[in-house]
Amino acid sequence: MPLKARITNPAYLAQPASTMPDAYAEFKEQPGDDPDDVHFNTLYGVRTIQLNRPKKYNALNGSMIRKIIPRLQEYQKSALASIIIIGGAGPKAFCAGGDVSHLASSIAQHGDTGRVDAKHYFGLEYKLDHLIATYPKPYIAYLDGITMGGGVGLSVHAPIRIATENTVFAMPETGIGFFPDVGGSFFLPRLEGRLGTYLALTSSTLKGVQALYAGVATHYIDSSVLANLTARLGELVFKDYSDLRSRLLTISRTIEEFNAGLPPASPPLLAGDIRMAIDRCFEPSSIEAIISALERERDSPQSAQHVKDWAATTLTTLAEKSPTSLKVTLRQMRLGATWDTRDAFRREYHLAAKFMSHPDFVAGVSARLLHKPATKPQWQPSTLDAVSAEEVESFFKIEEGEEGLELLTQGRDYDRYPFERDFGLPREEHVEEVVRRGRGARRNEVLETMVEGKEGQIGVREKVEEVLERRCGVDEEGKVVWKG
């Protein structure tokens, strides 16, 4: 039986409430918290965290956050805890997001009191996400099922993120009058090209192995072996002097022991002509210019039919989103590219508070999630041209005296993910380096060099082949040449 989530550490409970450390008091169980919404378990050196609200698709709420943070802090200090694994209960979802339905209902019913409660919730959530992003021990996320919104915050900042055939990844916030939070300011702009901007604005989904190709996941295995993988990881023993990178490399090689290959007929979908169109169309820094670029793509006689169809679908998708959310999110993507992890979560805390006072959040959540069947939200304002540049900038302005978010860890922030070269598929810039360094190499030589460098990890060959096809040419001697 898994350990129940209720915090029972005698060292905490022995302290009178008046002297309980502030860092713990914030996460003290509150009336109405469900004692079973998170399960914790121990398997030798592995500590597992299982989100346990399957009927709600494991949607993250305050009760769950108040349990997870103290446990992560406890595991951080324990010499017996070597690896932390987070997953979700049930067959459908890892975590389908934060419990925004509850927040919107509270704001609709209680006004300012509901907004204060919502701001407190987002503060808790971002503290947890930042703790994960800066965690000093191996932290692994099983993205087995729906992984959206709040579930993304629990997973994408982990150095090892495992997708399965059940993975459904998306950031759906612009469709509910919100913005891609939970560290989306940091994660999304650092995806290749303009993939992050595209995913942020359109809420497009990545299913199964596509999450690996896009850089959302670092590994891909079949869901049927996750339990065996957990047991195998429990057998690992690290030297006391092993640093975090060496431990993660050992874990990564262990995961590859369970590699059964890619699903049949599963090439990268955001690739080739579509990927080039994404980079072209989502390069501008205004939504109006992005829409114009998509219209040109749709109407151009030079565009292939599948690109025309993609552009038309994307235009329809954007037209359904909150105009305010679209403009704020695009600005967020551009600014977030310059923020470190600390900046990202602290700035998102202010952005979330601004959105709680904007009518689109309640309108979007009510129409999309609370009404059965879902209805079309009534956005205010309803058109892009009614959202001024001054209105957009007001979301990013921090008022004098406005309370900031106090994060739980200090001194471990970064402006690039520290292990992005070690785990996951090679990025385009890594392929470019090999091509330019190996001047005179043939295409198959570049490919084999990169596959060998990644120790044969699944997906590397397919990803590198796609990059070489899209970004490289061949000279008269048959040698590969990087374009641009």
Set 181, 348, 413, 465: catalytic member = 181
Set 26, 173, 297, 360: catalytic member = 173
Set 87, 150, 175, 196: catalytic member = 150
Set 45, 62, 98, 149: catalytic member = 98
26 flagged as catalytic:
no
98 flagged as catalytic:
yes
456 flagged as catalytic:
no
In this structure, the chain runs to a length of 484
Strand order in the sheet with 146-148: 93-95, 146-148, 168-170, 206-207
Q: What count of other Cβ atoms lies within 10 Å of the Cβ of residue 205?
A: 17
Nearest to 173 by CA among 216, 143, 205, 203: 203
411 flagged as catalytic:
no
HSE-CB for 106 with a 13 A CA cutoff? 16
- Residue 137 has phi, psi (to 5 degrees) of -120, 160
Question: What amino acid positions are annotated as catalytic residues?
Answer: 98, 150, 173, 181
